[in-house]
């Protein structure tokens, strides 16, 4: 993937705005709907959100750490070129890609969850929005992030942002599917901006 860095940040920022809007709509739903389980082994709305929160607990501090270490400023019109592995991981997170297995530590199934999960997710989305703002003048290709699945693999900062935001989109789509299955005035998620 090759794209102007400013365009990448703008695209990711639009997705975060869409995600914030969607989660704000979910705040109006009852706990019964939020805990509705389509079938055994399937996640509820709150479990999907808690899953994202667990990843946010890893990635948000990592993003902040990497930004704090970065001293090099660039022109935002510079071209961002994705790494092959980062691009692969980002594309795996798209909603229409194949189902992925979850690590046990990231699987919230059957946890006793409350609406506080949504509040935390909104806070994390706002932190990622701020991180995107701070990233506008940083070289997203040169900065490297640790990833949650391996301490030996590092991805370009821009690719890691894509992985996290696409992963959120994926689960927001799953939440929308749950809402549709309840036959209770499903909320519409905005289309993913690429």
Question: Is 32 a member of any domain?
Answer: yes
Kindly report, residue by residue over 46-79, the tens digit of the pLDDT: 999 999 999 999 999 999 999 999 887 887 688 9
Question: Is 90 a member of any domain?
Answer: yes
| CATH number for the domain that contains residue 123 | 1.20.120.450
Question: Is 193 a member of any domain?
Answer: no
Q: Of 186 and 125, which is predicted with more confidence?
A: 125
Which residue range(s) make up the domain with 37? 2-182
Residues with Cβ within 8 Å of 192's Cβ and at least 6 positions away in sequence, in order, are: 15, 18, 94, 95, 166, 169
Query: Strands 144-147 and 150-156, how do they pair?
Result: antiparallel
Q: What is the pLDDT of residue 102?
A: 67
Q: Tokens 């929160």 appear where? A: 53
Nearest to 66 by CA among 4, 162, 138: 138
Residues with Cβ within 8 Å of 56's Cβ and at least 6 positions away in sequence, in order, are: 121, 124, 127, 128, 164
Residue 93 has pLDDT above 80, yes or no: yes
Q: What is the pLDDT of residue 146?
A: 92
Cα distances (angstroms) measured from residue 70 to each of 66, 100, 124, 140, 157: 6, 32, 22, 10, 11
Question: Is 192 a member of any domain?
Answer: no
Question: Is 78 a member of any domain?
Answer: yes
- The count of structural domains within the chain is 1
Q: What is the pLDDT of residue 191?
A: 43
Q: Where are the alpha helices (DSSP H) in the chain?
A: 5-26, 31-34, 45-69, 84-92, 116-135, 157-182
Q: Where are the alpha helices (DSSP H) in 39-115?
A: 45-69, 84-92
Q: Give me the mean pLDDT over the 144-166 stretch.
A: 92
Question: Is 189 a member of any domain?
Answer: no
Kindly report, residue by residue over 4-31, the tens digit of the pLDDT: 999 999 999 999 999 999 999 999 888 8
Question: Is 187 a member of any domain?
Answer: no
123: helix, strand or coil: helix
184-192 long-range contacts (CB < 8 A, ≥24 apart) are 184/33, 187/22, 187/25, 187/26, 189/18, 189/22, 190/18, 190/21, 190/22, 192/15, 192/18, 192/94, 192/95, 192/166
Average pLDDT, the chain: 86
The model carries a pTM of: 0.88
Residue 103 has pLDDT above 70, yes or no: no
Question: Is 94 a member of any domain?
Answer: yes
Residue 34 has pLDDT above 80, yes or no: yes
Q: What is the pLDDT of residue 185?
A: 53
Kindly report, residue by residue over 158-177, the tens digit of the pLDDT: 999 999 999 999 999 999 88
Q: Give me the mean pLDDT over the 80-101 stretch.
A: 82
């Amino acid at each position: 993937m090759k794209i102007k860095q400013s365009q990448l940040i703008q695209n990711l920022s639009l997705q975060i705005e869409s995600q914030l809007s969607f989660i704000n709509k979910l705040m109006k739903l009852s706990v019964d709907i939020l805990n509705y389980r389509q079938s055994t082994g399937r996640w509820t709305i709150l479990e999907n959100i808690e899953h994202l929160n667990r990843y946010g607990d890893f990635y948000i501090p990592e993003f902040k750490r990497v930004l704090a270490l970065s001293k090099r400023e660039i022109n935002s019109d510079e071209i961002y070129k994705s790494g092959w592995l980062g691009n692969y991981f980002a594309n795996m997170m798209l909603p229409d890609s194949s189902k992925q297995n979850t690590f046990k530590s990231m699987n919230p199934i059957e946890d006793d969850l409350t609406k506080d999960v949504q509040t935390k997710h909104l806070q994390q989305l706002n932190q990622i929005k701020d991180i995107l703002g701070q990233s506008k003048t940083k070289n997203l290709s040169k900065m490297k992030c640790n990833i949650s699945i391996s301490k030996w693999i590092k991805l370009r900062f821009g690719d890691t942002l894509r992985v996290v935001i696409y992963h959120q989109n994926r689960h927001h789509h799953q939440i929308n599917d749950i809402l549709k299955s309840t036959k209770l005035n499903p909320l519409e998620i905005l289309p993913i901006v690429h």
